Structure 1
């Protein structure tokens, strides 16, 4: 009887997963990429003219046409060009086939309501929309078509640099033998040495700033610290057989840091004023040295190590005294890397400053001379997300904010204006949606593209007086997408661990979803405290979750406590506790969803993520094995002592304490109970790949079964196509209990 019951239960289980993880599911997952482009009539590459009276954008139409629109914002006249016409004329002139997939990187410029200019093949071109005519203008430096590049963490030798001329062009200042010298321009015999205590270990920087009256210099003296080198082995270089060794500048938590001490030099008097070292001790950074407009001193920003004090300070050029103008102090952390904003007003002695001092990210107005607070500009249980523009003439600030509207998703971005005095707060985007604005040069008009995760985009032209619609531009067409069986993700909310805070996330289902089946749940996680991550704007494939869902899963993404863009207390959960990763909130969220939707099988839960998400996904099966059963982690920061200094000390604090080990996946490898796959790129220079190797080492020492994939030549990534296939197969095998099909079978 018992054997028969087991057989019946097994049969029922097999029926419940039938059609999940099959070769047909894999084919459908592979083919679903072809439908993600079926979102039409959404403005892209919005560009205003310099005059601010016309703008351009591109879009795709349902009939396959790629169009460029030029709009006269005053007359509301709209003119279109089929981009194929531009490509055809370009190809004829250049005698090669030209395809303009995008104008990004081509220096698109709107000349007026009927002409644009752009770069292609080393030339600038003008397109006249009225005449549908292309004109070749002039040859341009190809380097001007490209920007960026280089390693993100590279340090430079600031002891070396070009001489700097005074504003009146009478003098030249420069560094020589680690000290500061000045000479009359063109007269080498007039050379004067201004400092005498520079040496290789304590040198003066070559970034010299003259006062506007050409009578004073500002710079820093540096106590140098050596920079740790990250060593990477490129096993399979393209240009030779033998491997290559690569190095990167890569300070890690706890490393010694160079200390900068601002200096003011009075040329006529020969005086040297140096900042009081006790006022800027134990720096994480000292930056933004600027002369006051009256040349009475310099201001600079001091970030004390540990990120619990961040100050605007002054070194007087009159008496050499050091004083604090504005001081931010926090018992946890100051989110300097994500929320700092400062605007020194030119017409008044005032500073617009962002702070979380009242528990929410808001704007304040300070007297820049005395540091006295004049008024709090924005206030309430909502957050300023970004300052767009400060208009000193009208004494008005335009900004992005979220959480202002009550009863809707608190992450939705809207646009607002407010007076310097904190009065006349105006909402410029009334719809309860996620708005993306592109303003003209004088901030009188803006193009607004708005949507929700489950609602297709709309776009309009608005004015900034009251946000009223000047012109309707486009309504997105997703009919072809929906005809494939695609359904929008569901926005779902539950209550956090505190019993009162709302937690927001998305639920993605496969196209062949059957509510009578049981579906394992897979969470895509990124839980870094530096932002929030659940998509709020419309996307046919948010966070790439649909391809995984097609294999027979419910895929979810959640913003738990410890992430940003809510209250300070909400984010502070991450303080010295990155292993928390909002898991108590995530688990409650999935339990609430499963209670509403019984087809969500939370006895079979998987999780995956990359970078900080790689750390968290592994942490899920180490610290919460009762809930999470299978994890795939890519390029994870598995021990915060192994990763880059700025990100980890920002959240885990300084000095290095026992909390670093407590949060370490490597130290806690012995806890592994579920199934774990680790993926890493051998050339990852964002997160030291040794972080993953050391975790693998500990898993092996503790006899913990796991899978490990090192991708040759890959940097900081999820694993590429190979890693993606391995990740899907891993979930199919361990959550569905199905042997994945051979790769050449689909």
Structure 2
């Protein structure tokens, strides 16, 4: 599922709910030890909220203010320090007076604030010289030159509450009201309606992908802030999804548009260009497009919104965009005249499985001044960049070639004809998941490696392309953050070197990277393994496999440094070996690697998980292959149940959270991309049967816990209930936690379900007795 990866575990949390037990015979485990609250407390020491504060000077990202200045947060035992660095000389100074700011914010009504932990998420200097800071979702204008005074910016100008998209000049923001697009003047709050014919389920810029439905506006401003590229989205014939809240009295029915695979009618978009000063709407002269993306299962893929597959020309006269077919097999690059709406088709790409325009970001670019386009393709089995001629639609030449992927294009300088990109697998001998940073000429030639360290590199470039900040690390080596010259990669200055002395004092240890062979016996698979800090090689340990099967991401959250990979180390601390392994069918490797189980989603990388765990059991005598557990969330919940059903003799205990157990019950775009369009045969069987967990639920032998939120609007709870129904009809014992009024992420009660999951593996996999109702610390939400 979209966004259902390790982030779902970090921030999508759990709430206590109704526990329904179906009595089950205990697994054939000898009665073991009785764990105490102190044992659980020791495990809790390695939860993120306990380990993160103990890591000093870990600067991962910075925020550029202009071409030569950026701000960042440095942390040590005394708290957070906000610093501003001048890239021209490498000198850092305080960004602002934190003590004065905290006092001013308290006077402005924000009581829960400390100078050592401000929690600033955005900062800029306002036109009048005041500090413009965003904290806790609120924006404050602060004058810190005198005694210190802050004012909540929302109290200065009375406007509607709809979320807006700022124009490039930051003077206007566009928003949706009553299915139409409006703009408001940021300074005065004056609001102006741009469209008038938007109606229910046929509105402008609406953000509804089925699994996601928000009030955000999806659009792209022109560079001069005078035009908007957006769409009128037609969902009038789409099918509905329903959930019902739980409360005393009449429940509340929640309904929204949610097309499914095979539906005759799915979401369509009519592309428009809006001239803001004249309120003129130009409808592009072409048929309605599928609501599809070249990258993800929404037209807005990035964390910060926007319409990824639309690029304005610098002069605002034309717009380039890519149309994607319903099954993601056919891409069409087009250019539209912003004034007339005329559309010209430039070139196509057709693929046998599914097309993607990058790994993590849309990587095509529009270069109208030279009548060129940068195009991403995996046509040689790897993600490379190609230069196309926009006049005739012909390929000029490859920009990059060979093995390894371009994962993300960060900047293109049309004048110097230079492209800067992140990539994986392009340096022989370097772990293939480590991101490195390169530059290459649009005219081809060998790319230049700018980050030679064999590590995972996180990059933030300056807007003018002269500098970039590089934070590089591995699972065992914490980040070093440096400022580098974007021309040759030389280090200008070291910004911060992470110190984990305080973390190590707790007994903390990093996970081990592991390499095993895939199902084919030839392909290397990579993963991480966590052992108890009190590990004894003379003991036998049960093993728990954390799984997210893909296809859009894998089980391993990062091969860079993290003090806690959510609760993997904590679970290991209770007497387990915990592993996460990226099996075949996950991204970042070759196209053929990614395509292994296209159209056979019931695979779920499980053949790789089984063979990998068996190899580890043969390699390490302290792994007990008779006690194998598995768990995951969303796609991982699907894979967990699948593992218990498809490999009942191997996986003994599973904890399946919010699983999309049959993708005919999940939004159309996701399943139709990875499984293909739904085909129903004459005998009633379908090409989706191979991924439907309810059809093999009768095979259950071990202990299985099914967990789902009752109002999950990403993966609706009916997906789990299909499995429940099948298990009941097969007379199988199972356990279930149904969480009233909780969505796909379970909210701030993560501790409850996390602890229950620990209990489940302790009791049924290790054969031990957990302490009664241990209370984990609440996650420090902010």
Q: Describe how 1:164-183 pairs up with structure 2 within 5 A.
A: none
Distance 1:464 1:241 in 2: 63
**Could you list the runs of 5+ residues in structure 1 that have no partner in the other structure?**
1-12, 164-171, 179-205, 265-270
Distance 1:31 1:580 in 2: 36
* Greater displacement, 337-346 / 446-455: 337-346
Matches within 5 A, 1:267-282: 275=286
SS state of the match for residue 542, structure 1?
Answer: coil
The yes-or-no answer on 1:226 pairing with 2:243 is no
User: C-alpha displacement at 1:73, in angstroms?
Assistant: 2.1
Deviation per residue, 1:216-271 (Å, 9 max, x gap): x99989987512221111103xxx6543221222111112125557799xxxxxx9
1:736 aligned partner: 766
- Offset at 1:299? 5.6
1:124 aligns with 2:141: yes
1:25 equivalent in structure 2:
39
Taking structure 1 as reference, are residues 254 and 109 closer, same or farther at Cα in structure 2, changes over 3 Å only? same
Q: RMSD across aligned C-alpha pairs, in angstroms? A: 4.2
Residue number among 55, 58, 73 corresponding to 2:73 in the alignment: 58
Give me the whole-angstrom Cα distance separating, in 1, the residues matched to 2:289 and 2:102.
63
Q: Aligned equivalents of 1:89 and 1:296: distance in 2?
A: 49
Residue 415 of structure 1 contacts residue 427 of structure 1 at CA under 8 Å; is this kept in 2? yes
- Is 1:303 the counterpart of 2:324 in the alignment? yes
Alpha-carbon distance change, 174 to 701 in structure 1, aligned in 2, over 3 angstroms: closer
Per the alignment, residue 107 of structure 1 pairs with 122
Of residues 704, 714, 724, the one that matches 1:676 is: 704
Measured against aligned partners, the alpha-carbon deviations of 1:74-128 in whole angstroms (never above 9, x if no partner) come to 222232479762455436754874326766665312699x996524676312557
1:244 and 1:454 mapped to 2: Cα distance?
50
Q: Decide which of 57, 65, 69 is 1:49's aligned counterpart.
A: 65
* Contact 2:162-2:177 at 8 Å conserved across structures: no
Match of 1:394 among 394, 416, 434: 416
Correspondence for 1:611: 634
Which deviations, in whole Å up to 9, do the C-alpha atoms of 1:559-592 show, x marking residues without a partner? 0000011111011013111111212222222222
Indicate the larger mover: 102-111 or 481-490.
102-111
- The equivalent of 1:141 in structure 2 is 154
> What's the CA shift for 1:448?
1.3
Superposition deviation, residue 557 in structure 1: 0.4
Paired residue secondary structure (1:527): coil
In the alignment, which residue of structure 2 is the partner of 1:257?
266
**Distance in 2 of aligned mates of 1:588 and 1:693:** 30
The separation in 1 between residues aligned to 2:125 and 2:426, in whole angstroms, is: 35
Name which structure has the greater RCO, CA cutoff 8 Å, separation 6+.
2
1:335 and 2:356 correspond: yes
The alpha-carbon deviation at position 321 of structure 1 amounts to 9.8
CA contact 2:357–2:364 (8 Å) conserved in 1? no
Q: CA deviation at 1:158?
A: 11
Question: What does residue 463 of structure 1 align with?
Answer: 485
Shift of 1:489: 0.2
Tell which deviates more after alignment, 631-640 or 356-365. 356-365
Structure 2 unaligned runs (5+)? 1-28, 166-174, 184-192, 200-216, 274-281, 294-298, 300-306, 681-685, 777-782
Greater Rg over alpha carbons, structure: 1
Kept after mapping to 1: 8 A contact 2:61/2:471 = no
Change (3 A) 1:145 1:28: farther
Counting only pairs closer than 5 Å after superposition, residues 435-474 of structure 1 correspond to structure 2 as: 435-474=457-496
Distance in 2 (CA, whole Å) between partners of 1:398 and 1:405 is 16
Contact in 2 for aligned 1:257/1:284 (Cα 8 Å): no
Q: Which piece of structure 1 moves more, 537-546 or 309-318? A: 309-318
Does residue 37 in structure 1 map to residue 53 in structure 2? yes
Quote the offset at 1:720 in angstroms.
Answer: 2.6
Of 506, 520, 535, the match for 1:498? 520
Q: Is the CA contact (8 Å cut-off) linking 2:598 and 2:675 kept in structure 1?
A: yes
Distance 1:35 1:262, change over 3 A: closer
CA distance 1:18–1:159, change in 2 (3 Å): closer
Question: Who is 2:750 aligned against?
Answer: 720
2:590 is the counterpart of 1:567: yes
> Compared with structure 1, are the counterparts of its residues 84 and 515 closer, same or farther at alpha carbon in structure 2 (3 Å cutoff)?
farther
Q: Which residue in 1 is equivalent to 2:500?
A: 478
Deviations 1:341-368 (A, max 9, x none): 3211132111111111111111111111
Residue aligned with 2:705, SS = strand
User: Is the 8 Å Cα contact of residues 679 and 710 (structure 1) preserved in structure 2?
Assistant: yes
> Does the 8 A contact of 1:43 with 1:474 survive in 2?
yes
Paired residues of 2:755 and 2:775 also in contact (CA < 8 A): no
CA distance in 2, matches of 1:323, 1:688: 40
Q: Equivalent residue of 1:594, what SS? A: helix
CA contact (8 A) 1:397 1:418 kept: yes
The question of whether the paired residues in 2 share the 8 Å contact of 1:48 and 1:110 is answered with no
Q: Does the 8 Å contact 2:102/2:118 carry over to 1? A: no
**Partner residue, 2:15:** none
Instruction: Report if aligned partners of 1:456, 1:476 keep a CA contact under 8 Å in 2.
Output: yes
User: Alpha-carbon deviations, 1:415-437, whole Å to 9, x = none?
Assistant: 11111012251111111111111
Greater alpha carbon shift after TM alignment, 559-568 vs 400-409 = 400-409
Matched, 1:244 2:252: yes
Q: Is the 8 A contact 1:383 1:565 kept in 2?
A: yes
Select 2:531's aligned residue among 487, 501, 509. 509
Moved more, 81-90 or 289-298: 289-298
For the residues of structure 2 that align with 1:492 and 1:139, how far apart are their CA atoms?
A: 50
Distance in 2 separating the partners of 1:294 and 1:458: 40
| Pairwise CA distance, 1:141 | 2.5
Counterparts of 1:489 and 1:701, CA distance in 2: 42
